[in-house]
Each structure stands twice: as C-alpha cells, then as structure tokens.
Amino acid sequence: MRLFLIILFFISSLQALEQKSILLLHSYNSGLKWSDGITEGIEEGLKDNLLYELSIEYMDSKKIDTKEYFNTLKELYKKKFSTRKYDIIIAADNYAYNFVLENHEEIFNKTAVVFCGVENFKQKDIPSYLKPYVTGVVEYKEIKRNIEFIKDAIKDLSTLYIISDSSFSSSAIKKQILDATLEFKDDFKIIFNDKIDLEELRKDIYNLPSNSAILFTSLYIDKYGRYIPYNNIRKLFKESKYPVFAVNKIHLGEGVVGGIMVSPQEQGLLAINKAIEIIKGKKIQTLSIDMPSSKYYFDYQVMEKYAIDKSKIPMFSTIVNKPQNFFEKNRQIIDSTFVLIPFLVLLIIGLIVNIVKRIKLEIKLVEQTKLDNVLLNNIKSAIYWQSNEGILLGCNDSLCKLLSVAKRDIIGKEMQKVLP
C-alpha cells in the first residue's frame, strides 16, 4: 500500500511539472504595435514561469476580413489544431474572440478561453454552454473623458476633429463616440470622420480654424478598404498643424500630445495572469471579467510644441520626454555618492581621530621642548648636538655666548665652520 502511494505521488509530481501549452490567437498581424504590445504583456507574465509554452497565431484581419477568408482560415485551423491540445487559449481582440466563440466546439472543444482587447463587450454574446469556459479582459476607450480633457486643455476650443475608420474594431465603438459627442455639441464644433482618405485628411486638418484639436481613435484602413501602414500615421501626427490627442498608448512618443489611454501591455498581462490561475485549477466562474481603467499619459515635448499648459496635467500622470532635472541627469553619480557616504563618514572620523592624536602629541612635544630649553639654558657649560654628517642641530645659550653669535646664524651649519 505504501509503495502504491509513493508511485501515485511520483506520478502526480510529474503531471504537476508537465509543460502547459498556451495558444495566443491574435486578430491582427505581427508588427502591429497593439498586437505586439499584448504579446509583450503576456511574455512579461510568463518570464518567470518556465513550465508554460506559448504558441502564437495571427489572423491578419486588419488586411483582409472577408467571409471567404475566414472560412479558409477555419479549415486551416481545423487541420492545424486537430492533433494539438492546448491547455488554454488567449483570444486577442474582437476578430479572434468571435472566431473562437463561433468555432469553439468544432476546433477548440472544452478548452478554456481568456480574451483581451475586446471592445463593446456584451456578456449575452457568450452562448450559455460556453460560459463555463470563457473569461477575460475588456478594452474600453475613454472617449467622453478625453473630450472633456481636450476642452479643458485647449483654450477657447473651436473645433474637435475625431479620426476613426470603418474597420470592425472601430465600428464596435462608433456609437460610443457619437453618444459622447452629443454632450458637447453646444460647446464647440465636432467633426467625426470614419471614411478616411489620407490626402483629404491632411487638407482637412490644415484648413481647420484656430484653436482646433484632433482626437485620434484608430486608423488602419482607408475608405477604399486599403491597409494604411503605421509610418503614414506617425507622419500625420508629426506634421499636424494642431495638437493630436489619442486613446491608445501605442501612439505615445509618436507625435501625439497624450490623453486617457488604454495599454495593450496591461491587457496582455491581465489575460495571462487569468490564464495561469485557470491552469493551476481555479474555476473560470470564480474569475470576473475585468475592465482595467485607462490612465493619463502625456508627451512633454509635444505639449511644448503646441504650448499646452502643463498645469492641466492631472496628478500621477505618466509623462514621457520630460527634460531631466539636475538629480535625474546625475542620478548615477548621486546614487554612487549615497553608497560611498558611509565609507566617507568612517574615513572622516578616522582622520579626525588621527588629527586629534597628532595635536595632543605635538602639544606634548612643545611642552617637552620648553622643558628641555629651560634645563639646557640653565647649564653654564656650552652644549650642542649635531647630525651624523656633522651639521649643528641645536645648542644652548651658553654656546652662543661663547661664540658671540646668534643661535639662528649657526643652526644648520657644519660644525667645522662653527667650531674650527
């Protein structure tokens, strides 16, 4: 019986150490800053967990999203995953999330699903039979709060130009954008453009009236359905005549002022933490579907460029490209100094003790010298002392009287010259 328990314990230990497989299914493509950010967050959560193997698939739906394409993708994944068993699936963004829900029984049967980056999430969209298998992290862009901040930051704001596109993810928040703008229709003019032609967009921005601002939500395809490379977006930010605010942290440091932004890294990190909890045995029903709050991010140099009042920046905001103060510039030297201070204090104390000892010794020597002078000068006989080389080092007053010379005139001279 004891042997049986030992074998059972050994087998259980092996199972516990068995590597767990995680499939990360991205809606978009590698190289897209949002997708890469989610991957970074997931890899950050796995860096100390060597028992987890991460596989990544990209659906590339920003560039192609036809029904025929998804049917082909479904057949490909059926063949690709038919011989593989994943412990958990992380579905990043709406396309992957919807694909996994629609094909869960056929391709990913009974595999737990953690989603992230999903906009316009509705609990009722999850079929009842799938609810025991699905949890995740919702992405929510703070459109209204960003407009409120822009109104406060731009003095006498005249026009707000909102940029979006007609992609699936943008369409998911279109109603949210339109609802948010209604509250400000009497405060300033609002232009919402989700049918973008880049050249026309540049002209629109250039011709905006004074005290205008731009709110950028997303732009991956133009009105002709063509994919827009990110370099074109970055160029648009940097060349803009008016300040551009954004709702996504991936644009920070690319020419936008900033705003209340969602972070893809945070989405990925929260998703992988949920996935690890599920793999370790936690029931999905006990894990809530989270909606992390967006945070304030700003680019100091861009705020300078458009002369935006820094006092408008809320407390605890993250600010990039901020000029370094003296302590930040010399941080390494200051840190090194603080490390050395205890040793310097000990050294100074040692030097002080040494100086005090030397002063005491010198006082004793002076007192001894005075005593010797008094004794020697009271002796009537001439007394002197010399070095091994015959140099006169000292004498009493009697010798000076004998030679009729001052002591200063003979000290340091050769004895043969003093006493031929």
pLDDT in tens, 67-118: 999 999 999 999 998 888 899 999 999 999 999 999 999 999 889 999 999 9
**Gap between the Cα atoms of 245 and 411, Å rounded:** 88
**Contacts of range 103-112, beta carbons closer than 8 Å, 24 or more positions apart:** 103/74, 103/77, 104/130, 104/133, 106/78, 107/74, 107/77, 107/78, 107/81, 108/81, 111/85, 111/86, 111/87, 112/87, 112/88, 112/275, 112/278, 112/284
The tens digit of pLDDT for each residue in 247-264 reads 999 999 999 999 999 999
Longest Cα–Cα distance in the chain: 129
Residue 381 confidence (pLDDT) above 90? no
Q: Which of 387, 392, 384 is nearest to 416 (CA)?
A: 392
End-to-end Cα, the chain, rounded Å = 116
Which region among 3-17, 142-156, 388-402 has the lowest average model confidence (pLDDT)?
3-17
CA atoms 214, 312, 302, 145: torsion sign: negative
Q: How far is CA 248 from the centre of its chain?
A: 16
The tens digit of pLDDT for each residue in 303-360 reads 999 999 999 999 989 999 988 776 666 677 777 777 878 888 888 898 898 898 888 8
